[in-house]
């Protein structure tokens, strides 16, 4: 079921390093609106690769943008944005779903038992976006189900939950873009 026109959400998906964030940033600049960048990357002390990835993303963004680090409670962050008109880039949903899955997860637990909590968290973000009609949103995510099947139950649960989250966002979005090898295809 497609969302009626007038949706305030653009959804961008694709593989790793396919150009998703660059497209989101380009669309944000083209909008001419003040931009709030909602970064969902959790802090992983001692991980130099993650620190470098965050640094490269920051350098690409215009200095005039407001960055809000929101690895958890993304719905609360969305609700707390200043009054619009403005544009918010959520980068990225895939990291947020990972955070939802791992929050409270204990080794040996059945990760699929967390599906209700994860999807409730995703639904809360969609509801918050829907309620903020004064804000345009661009959400970036990853397609993780096109590769090798993860060899652990936790990895498979993450792949499945992100697939469900991506479907929910895509159904809600006014426009959906797929990026592959730096090329974009508009799906909706």
Q: What residues contact 2, with CB distance under 8 A and at least 6 apart?
A: 171, 188
Spell out the long-range contacts of 48-56 with Cβ–Cβ below 8 A and sequence spacing 24 or more: none
Q: Determine the distance from the C-alpha atom of residue 148 to the mean position of all C-alpha atoms in its chain, rounded to a whole number.
A: 22
Give yes or no: 57 in active site.
yes
CB–CB of 184/175 below 8 Å? no
Identify which of 52, 161, 167 has the alpha carbon closest to the alpha carbon of residue 115: 161
Catalytic site residue from 15, 51, 57, 73: 57
- 111, 158 in Cβ contact below 8 A? yes
Query: Is 40 in contact with 74 (CB distance < 8 Å)?
Result: yes
Q: Which residues have a catalytic role annotated? A: 57
């Amino acid at each position: 079921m497609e969302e009626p026109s007038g949706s305030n959400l653009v959804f961008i998906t694709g593989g790793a390093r396919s150009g998703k964030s660059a497209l989101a940033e380009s669309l944000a600049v083209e909008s001419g609106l003040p931009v709030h960048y909602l970064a969902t990357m959790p802090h992983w002390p001692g991980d130099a690769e993650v620190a470098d990835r965050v640094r490269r993303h920051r350098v690409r963004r215009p200095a005039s943008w407001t960055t809000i680090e929101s690895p958890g409670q993304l719905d609360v962050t969305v609700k707390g944005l200043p009054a619009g008109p403005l544009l918010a880039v959520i980068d990225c949903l895939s990291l947020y779903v990972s955070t939802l899955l791992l929050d409270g997860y204990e080794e040996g637990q059945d990760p699929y038992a967390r599906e209700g909590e994860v999807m409730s968290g995703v639904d809360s973000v969609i509801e918050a976006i829907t309620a903020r009609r004064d804000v345009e949103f661009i959400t970036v995510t990853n397609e993780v189900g096109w590769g090798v099947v993860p060899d652990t139950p936790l990895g498979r649960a993450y792949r499945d939950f992100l697939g469900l989250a991506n479907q929910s966002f895509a159904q809600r979005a006014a426009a959906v873009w797929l990026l592959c090898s730096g090329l974009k295809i508009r799906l909706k």
